[in-house]
């Protein structure tokens, strides 16, 4: 087993070797909670959810940290007299949590808020000042800046030289030695809320954005950990600055840098600042959460994803094919289980049945699926293996090859479990009153068709079957009755 991941810092695929093979450590930049999530935020979180699931399957344990940035310029800017910054941050944090949970993103091992780690941030800043890599502003404003020219490797993550960089715009330039220096601590300002201020050795103020993640990653994962993840848009300046300040403080920090591609609209990054975003709540209100998960996962995590209406319809059709096979195969499996019970054959034994049939149970992942996932989380290739197994399973059912159908059933279950397509609404036929009503209507038509066939009214039976087929519903006649499924 060798997992390869694309490391942004190396700009190449690297074999993944965790510090502790029994516990992979992973930090992913979470949301800045100034407003609700757009679908790009969900895609980013989902990319690392799938990576985490795969690493857990391969190594057994992943300590997964995803932070919440609840103190930031944008949070303060969006607060109001009616809703303070901390109340806004908490309300938006809940919106992110609901969106993540809706599409089956697992909760992190730890989800620290920035405001709970201010002492750790101050400790890191003090260490940088002591090492000569940071300085308080000489004007007494309380600002503290990282001196980018004091660290020769600054720009290493994104392969840039300091001279080619724009001035850092994350803080007031008062007191800076170099335009590219970035804020570690921001001195209090008269027009900002009094409760958004912490005492510090450099004066009252609040932390800069970049120092927050460095301090939280170290606090929860240690001075060196395996994977740092986030969106492609965070490479610069956020991750570049994290790497510089943590390395300058003497920490090994992240050994692998993994970045997901962005959701785009007409080729432009989806972003709140550009105003071209689609709220996750609107997407989830319009589409089954499982369809949303599939559509966001279907492209490779490092590629850009341009979403359209066809993205949702294609995902729904693909899930329909999986769902239809599972329903067919599970009914066949139940019949096979009953047959084994009659013959006194324990389930899952591989014992031979009359006629030389050999029942095999392989609840393992197909080699092609595992190889695709090991190769930089190749979900598109893994999905191809999944659908190939669905097709071969359906063919086995059509041919009456129950043993092959059961093998396919176990493997399909295993694959959708890894990808997180199990256990969500819509895995069967859907939920709620509409699904129940549809089931009742179709079953009534099936009963009417059965009555027509019993009366040898073949024309009426055919008309009913044609009407059902025209609605995109497939009927399957079996020894234990007629079952229906929606065409993929």
pLDDT band at 355 (very low <50, low <70, confident <90, very high): very low
More reliable by pLDDT, 351 or 487: 487
pLDDT tens, position by position, 185-207: 999 999 999 999 999 999 999 99
The whole-number average pLDDT for the span 453-481 is 75
Distance CA 123, CA 376 (A): 36
The whole-number average pLDDT for the span 138-166 is 94
pLDDT over 50 at 340, yes or no: yes
pLDDT score of 463: 81
Instruction: Examine the domain organization and report whether 296 and 222 are in the same domain.
Output: yes
Instruction: Examine the domain organization and report whether 153 and 132 are in the same domain.
Output: yes
pLDDT over 80 at 335, yes or no: no
In a domain, 66, yes or no: yes
- For the entire predicted model, the pTM comes to 0.83
pLDDT score of 478: 63
Distance CA 69, CA 231 (A): 15
Domain housing 9: 4-306
Q: What is the CATH number of the domain that holds 352?
A: 1.20.120.640
Q: Scanning the structure block, which residue is given the tokens 């809940």? A: 94
The whole-number average pLDDT for the span 105-118 is 98
pLDDT score of 350: 40
pLDDT score of 433: 47
In a domain, 427, yes or no: no
Tally DSSP H helices, then E strands, for the chain.
14, 17
Residues 295 and 311: beta-carbon distance below 8 Å: yes
pLDDT over 50 at 359, yes or no: no
Where does a domain end: 280, 306, 332?
A: 306
The conformation of residue 167, written as its DSSP 8-state character, comes to P
The conformation of residue 13, written as its DSSP 8-state character, comes to E
pLDDT band at 448 (very low <50, low <70, confident <90, very high): confident
Instruction: Examine the domain organization and report whether 248 and 357 are in the same domain.
Output: no
pLDDT tens, position by position, 192-247: 999 999 999 999 999 999 999 999 999 999 999 999 999 999 999 999 999 999 99
Instruction: Examine the domain organization and report whether 338 and 361 are in the same domain.
Output: yes
Instruction: Examine the domain organization and report whether 289 and 162 are in the same domain.
Output: yes
pLDDT over 60 at 437, yes or no: no
The whole-number average pLDDT for the span 116-134 is 98
The whole-number average pLDDT for the span 44-64 is 97
Q: What is the CATH number of the domain that holds 25?
A: 3.40.50.620
pLDDT band at 388 (very low <50, low <70, confident <90, very high): very high
Least confident of 242-251, 285-294, 404-413, 461-470: 461-470
Token couple for 2: 């060798």
Q: Give the count of domains, the chain.
A: 3
Instruction: Examine the domain organization and report whether 280 and 365 are in the same domain.
Output: no
Instruction: Examine the domain organization and report whether 296 and 315 are in the same domain.
Output: no
The whole-number average pLDDT for the span 406-421 is 94
In a domain, 425, yes or no: no
pLDDT score of 162: 93
Nearest residue to 467 (alpha-carbon basis) of 448, 481, 480: 448
Class of residue 169 by CB neighbours under 10 A (exposed 0-12, middle 13-18, buried 19+): exposed
pLDDT band at 276 (very low <50, low <70, confident <90, very high): low
CB atoms under 10 Å from CB of 242, counted, come to: 27
pLDDT over 60 at 487, yes or no: no
Distance CA 471, CA 452 (A): 20
pLDDT over 50 at 324, yes or no: yes
Q: What percent of the chain has pLDDT over 70?
A: 84
Instruction: Examine the domain organization and report whether 316 and 455 are in the same domain.
Output: no
Class of residue 352 by CB neighbours under 10 A (exposed 0-12, middle 13-18, buried 19+): exposed
In a domain, 426, yes or no: no
In a domain, 295, yes or no: yes
Where does a domain end: 419, 444, 465?
A: 419
Average pLDDT of the residues of the chain: 88
Instruction: Examine the domain organization and report whether 246 and 361 are in the same domain.
Output: no
More reliable by pLDDT, 128 or 1: 128
Instruction: Examine the domain organization and report whether 197 and 316 are in the same domain.
Output: no
Distance CA 203, CA 198 (A): 9
Strands 224-231 and 253-260: parallel
Where does a domain end: 386, 419, 452?
A: 419
pLDDT over 90 at 281, yes or no: yes
pLDDT band at 272 (very low <50, low <70, confident <90, very high): low
pLDDT tens, position by position, 13-51: 999 999 999 999 999 999 999 999 999 999 999 999 999
Instruction: Examine the domain organization and report whether 451 and 476 are in the same domain.
Output: yes
In a domain, 99, yes or no: yes
In a domain, 424, yes or no: no
Distance CA 175, CA 220 (A): 33
pLDDT band at 454 (very low <50, low <70, confident <90, very high): confident
In a domain, 472, yes or no: yes
Instruction: Examine the domain organization and report whether 361 and 438 are in the same domain.
Output: no
pLDDT over 90 at 296, yes or no: yes
């Amino acid at each position: 087993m060798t997992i390869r991941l694309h490391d942004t810092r190396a700009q190449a695929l690297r074999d993944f070797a965790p510090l502790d093979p029994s516990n992979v450590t992973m930090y992913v930049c979470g949301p800045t909670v100034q407003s609700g999530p757009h679908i790009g935020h969900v895609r980013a979180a989902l990319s690392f959810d799938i990576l985490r699931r795969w690493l857990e399957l391969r190594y057994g344990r992943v300590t997964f940290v995803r932070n919440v940035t609840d103190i930031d310029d944008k949070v303060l800017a969006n607060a109001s007299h009616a809703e303070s910054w901390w109340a806004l941050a908490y309300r938006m944090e809940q919106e992110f949590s609901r969106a993540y949970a809706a599409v089956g993103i697992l909760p992190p091992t730890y989800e620290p808020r920035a405001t709970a780690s201010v002492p750790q941030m101050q400790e890191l800043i003090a260490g940088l000042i002591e090492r000569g890599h940071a300085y308080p502003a000489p004007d007494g404003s309380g600002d503290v800046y990282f001196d980018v020219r004091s660290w020769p490797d600054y720009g290493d993550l994104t392969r840039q030289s300091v001279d080619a960089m724009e001035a850092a715009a994350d803080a007031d330039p008062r007191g800076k030695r170099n335009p590219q220096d970035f804020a570690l601590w921001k001195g209090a300002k008269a027009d900002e809320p009094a409760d958004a201020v912490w005492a510090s050795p450099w004066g009252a103020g609040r932390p800069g954005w970049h120092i927050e993640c460095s301090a939280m990653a170290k606090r929860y994962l240690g001075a060196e950990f395996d994977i740092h993840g986030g969106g492609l848009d965070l490479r610069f300046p956020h991750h570049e600055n994290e790497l510089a300040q943590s390395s300058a403080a003497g920490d090994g920090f992240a050994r692998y840098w993994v970045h997901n591609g962005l959701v785009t609209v007409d080729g432009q990054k989806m972003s709140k600042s550009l105003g071209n975003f689609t709220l996750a709540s609107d997407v989830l209100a319009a589409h089954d959460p499982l369809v949303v998960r599939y559509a966001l996962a279907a492209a490779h995590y490092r590629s850009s994803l341009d979403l359209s209406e066809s993205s949702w319809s294609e995902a729904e059709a693909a899930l329909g094919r999986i769902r239809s096979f599972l329903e067919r195969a599970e009914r066949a499996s139940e019949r096979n289980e009953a047959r084994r019970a009659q013959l006194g054959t324990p389930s899952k034994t591989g014992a031979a049945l009359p006629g030389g049939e050999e029942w095999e149970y392989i609840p393992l992942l197909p080699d092609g699926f595992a190889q695709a996932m090991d190769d930089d989380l190749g979900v598109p290739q893994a999905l191809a293996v999944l659908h190939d197994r669905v097709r071969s399973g359906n063919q086995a059912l059509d041919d009456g090859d129950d043993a092959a159908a059961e093998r396919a059933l176990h493997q399909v279950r295993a694959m959708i479990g890894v990808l997180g397509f199990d256990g969500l609404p819509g895995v069967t036929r859907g939920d709620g009153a509409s699904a129940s009503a549809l089931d009742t209507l179709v079953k009534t038509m099936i009963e009417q068709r059965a009555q027509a066939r019993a009366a040898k009214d073949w024309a009426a039976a055919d008309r009913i079957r044609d009407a059902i087929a025209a609605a995109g519903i497939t009927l399957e006649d079996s020894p234990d009755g007629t079952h229906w499924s929606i065409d993929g």
